[in-house]
C-alpha cells in the first residue's frame, strides 16, 4: 500500500483531493484536503481558518474574475462530524446533518459542477466521531452531462495505518479526465499533522499546487491538530 505522498508524487494534476484515515498507532483520525489550479483565477486562492473549519478566499481580490466555483467552505464541523468537500456542497451536507438526515441525502440534491467540457466531479467526505468514513463522487457518465453518476463508499472501521483517497481528476488533460473507480487505499504512519502536511505538500506538483489542509483528531479525547499551507504564504494553524 502506498502512502498519500507516494500516490500524489509525479501526478501533475489530480485537481482537488480528499483523504480520510487513521494513524498507524490507531490513536488519531486523519483528514486531508488540497486544491490545485491551472488558471490564474484558480491559483489566486488561500485557505483561511474559520470557527467550524476552513474557507477559500482570494489572495488578491483585484485578480479574482469568477468566484462561483472556487470560493466555498471545504471543511465544516457539524457536532463531532467533519464534512470535507470540493465545493459548496459542504453546506448542503452540513444542513442535512443538522436536520437529522444523512450524508447521501444531502448529495442526492447536488450534481457535478457546470463547467463543461470538464464537468468537474463533486467529491465529498464525512469523518464520523467513531472513525467511520463516507466518501462520494458525483460525475458525468464518461463526459455525457445528461447523466449524473452518484457513487457512494462507506468504511465502518478503517484499520490503523490505512485510509482512502479520492480526487476530482485522474491527471492533467483536455478535457480533464474524471477520477475512476473506488477511492484508493493510502497508508498512514504516526506523523503529526505538521509532519504529514509537509510530506503531502512536497509531493504535490510544484507548478499547480495551491493550498493544503491537514487535521488529526485524537480518538479518545477529541483533541485536534490542524495545519494550513498556502502557495501564497498565508499559513495558519
Q: What is the mean pLDDT of the chain?
A: 96
Is 234's pLDDT higher than 80? no
pLDDT in tens, 106-139: 999 999 999 999 999 999 999 999 999 999 999 9
Beta-bridge partner residues of 21:
30, 163
- pLDDT tens, position by position, 192-204: 999 999 999 999 9
Cell of 149: 453518476
Provide the β-strand partners of residue 206.
Answer: none
Q: In what order do the strands lie in the sheet with 209-218?
A: 184-187, 162-167, 17-22, 28-36, 209-218, 224-230
Question: pLDDT, tens digit, for every residue of 10-68?
Answer: 999 999 999 999 999 999 999 999 999 999 999 999 999 999 999 999 999 999 988 98
Signed CA dihedral, 162, 5, 50, 217: sign only: positive
Q: Is the peptide bond before 128 cis (omega within 30 degrees of 0)?
A: no
Confidence (pLDDT) at 12: 98
What is the tens place of the pLDDT at every residue in 132-175?
A: 999 999 999 999 999 999 999 999 989 999 999 999 999 999 99
* Residue 236 pLDDT greater than 60, yes or no: no
Amino acid at each position: 500500500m502506498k502512502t498519500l505522498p507516494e500516490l500524489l508524487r509525479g501526478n501533475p494534476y489530480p485537481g482537488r483531493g480528499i483523504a480520510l484515515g487513521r494513524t498507524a498507532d490507531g490513536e488519531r483520525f486523519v483528514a486531508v484536503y488540497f486544491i490545485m489550479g491551472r488558471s490564474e483565477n484558480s491559483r489566486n486562492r488561500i485557505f483561511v481558518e474559520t470557527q467550524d473549519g476552513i474557507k477559500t478566499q482570494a489572495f488578491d481580490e483585484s485578480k479574482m474574475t469568477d468566484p462561483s466555483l472556487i470560493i466555498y467552505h471545504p471543511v465544516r464541523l457539524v457536532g463531532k462530524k467533519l464534512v470535507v468537500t470540493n465545493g459548496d456542497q459542504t453546506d448542503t451536507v452540513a444542513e442535512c446533518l443538522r436536520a437529522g438526515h444523512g450524508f447521501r441525502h444531502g448529495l442526492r440534491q447536488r450534481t457535478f459542477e457546470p463547467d463543461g467540457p470538464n464537468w468537474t466531479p463533486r467529491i465529498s467526505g464525512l469523518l464520523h466521531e467513531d472513525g467511520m468514513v463516507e466518501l462520494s463522487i458525483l460525475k458525468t457518465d464518461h463526459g455525457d452531462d445528461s447523466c449524473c453518476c452518484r457513487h457512494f463508499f462507506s468504511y465502518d472501521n478503517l484499520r490503523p495505518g490505512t485510509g482512502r483517497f479520492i480526487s476530482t481528476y485522474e491527471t492533467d488533460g483536455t478535457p480533464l479526465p474524471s477520477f475512476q473507480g473506488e477511492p484508493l487505499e493510502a497508508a498512514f504512519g504516526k506523523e503529526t499533522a505538521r509532519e504529514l502536511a509537509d510530506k503531502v505538500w512536497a509531493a504535490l506538483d510544484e507548478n499547480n499546487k495551491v493550498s493544503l489542509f491537514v487535521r488529526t483528531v485524537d480518538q479518545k479525547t477529541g483533541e485536534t491538530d490542524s495545519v494550513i499551507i498556502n502557495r501564497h504564504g498565508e499559513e495558519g494553524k
